[in-house]
Amino acid sequence: MQPALRSDQIKGEALLVNWIATSLRPFSIVEDSGFRHFVDFLSNLNKQFSIPGRKKVREQLESYGELVRMKMQNKIDNDINYFSATTDIWSSRTMAITLHALSKDFQMINLTIEIDPLQGRHTGAMICTKMSNAFERWNLEKKKLVLMLRDNASNAIRACEDWGIESFGCIGHSLHLIVGPLFVQKNHGSNDNNVEVLDDVVDYDNDEVIELLDTFTNENYKQNVTYLNKIVSNFRQIAKFIRKSTIAKEKLEKLQKANGINQSLTVDLDVRTRWNSTFFYVGKVYKT
């Protein structure tokens, strides 16, 4: 097709910007492949397209979801024999299960079969029942499950043991349990509000990790950990102060403009349940 007239291009861009602004859409929506395919379709239609109402869109989404489920079931029945699985419980009280397998032509298959909200206490028995019901819904045989990758929480371990399946703890989560406490100043009864409490930053089920760290006797090791604690604590306090103080934000923006940075850059704060975010966030800045 021929390019749009300049006047039409300007009008179209104005409508797009107005929609983004009034509907609070992200700027990056213009780079979304689905959005661009939809616009391309309308551009080549040469006829008026009637936008469906929300009720119709909802019905079509439900039909689309059922179609996707049928395709996934077909792939499970025809392309997957033996498989492994990953399960995790998010902080939003939601449990997810993902299948991992190789097709006959050695192509990786990853299918998220469940994202299910959890009600009540997250006991091992309840998690075991959830996993068992999910396998039944997708016609999956437990005996064909090679390994279940899980977190290191006691309820997840108990669920796999009760169900009689092979399981293994996530290495990333294991690293977090070991490395996470090193980034936090331990509170030994101090009334100093600047001292961070371990439970505010690190998620773990018991005190075994802390007891393990307390058994180390190497003084150089303890000095290095203490030094690291102070670095991380200082960076967190600076970041929290800038994020909460409007005066600090304005001063930061002035410093950015003085150094030729035209856009406003925010101050990142590491994620308490991801030690590698602390490593990247503090390590990169401190090295600089």
Q: What is the pLDDT of residues 125-163, one digit of tens each?
A: 999 999 999 999 999 999 999 999 998 888 999 999 999
In tens, the pLDDT along 49-95 reads: 999 999 999 999 999 999 999 999 999 999 999 999 999 887 668 89
Residue 111 CA to residue 153 CA, distance in Å, equals 24
In tens, the pLDDT along 168-199 reads: 988 877 777 777 666 665 554 444 444 343 33
Looking at residue 16, what is its pLDDT? Answer: 94
Contact status, residue 89 vs residue 153, Cβ threshold 8 Å: yes
Looking at residue 165, what is its pLDDT? Answer: 95
Among residues 49, 48, 39, the alpha carbon closest in space to that of 19 is found at 39
User: If you average pLDDT over residues 217-235, what whole number do you get?
Assistant: 72
| Residues of the chain by 3-state class (helix, strand, coil), percent to 5 | 55, 10, 30
pLDDT reading at 229 higher than 60: yes
* C-alpha Rg value of the chain to the nearest Å: 26
Contact status, residue 176 vs residue 159, Cβ threshold 8 Å: no
pLDDT band at 206 (very low <50, low <70, confident <90, very high): very low
Residue 226 CA to residue 184 CA, distance in Å, equals 9
pLDDT band at 25 (very low <50, low <70, confident <90, very high): very high
Between 222 and 121, the more confident residue is 121
Looking at residue 185, what is its pLDDT? Answer: 54
Looking at residue 230, what is its pLDDT? Answer: 78
> Order of strands across the sheet with 108-117?
108-117, 94-102, 83-90, 145-150, 167-169
Domain locations in the chain? 10-47, 63-169, 177-287
Contact status, residue 146 vs residue 85, Cβ threshold 8 Å: no
Residue 260 CA to residue 187 CA, distance in Å, equals 42
**Cross-strand partners of 230:** none
H or E element in which residue 111 lies: strand 108-117
Q: Is 62 strand, coil or helix?
A: helix
Looking at residue 195, what is its pLDDT? Answer: 39
CA 2 to chain centre: 43
Task: Of 34-48, 200-214, 265-279, give the lowest mean pLDDT range.
Answer: 200-214
Q: Other CB atoms closer than 10 Å to residue 153's CB: what's the count?
A: 19
Q: Is 84 strand, coil or helix?
A: strand
The pTM of this model reads 0.63
CA 77 to chain centre: 29
In tens, the pLDDT along 8-20 reads: 999 999 999 999 9
Looking at residue 194, what is its pLDDT? Answer: 42
CATH topology of domain 63-169: Nucleotidyltransferase; domain 5 (3.30.420)
Task: Please state, for a pLDDT cut of 70, what percent of the chain lies above it.
Answer: 79
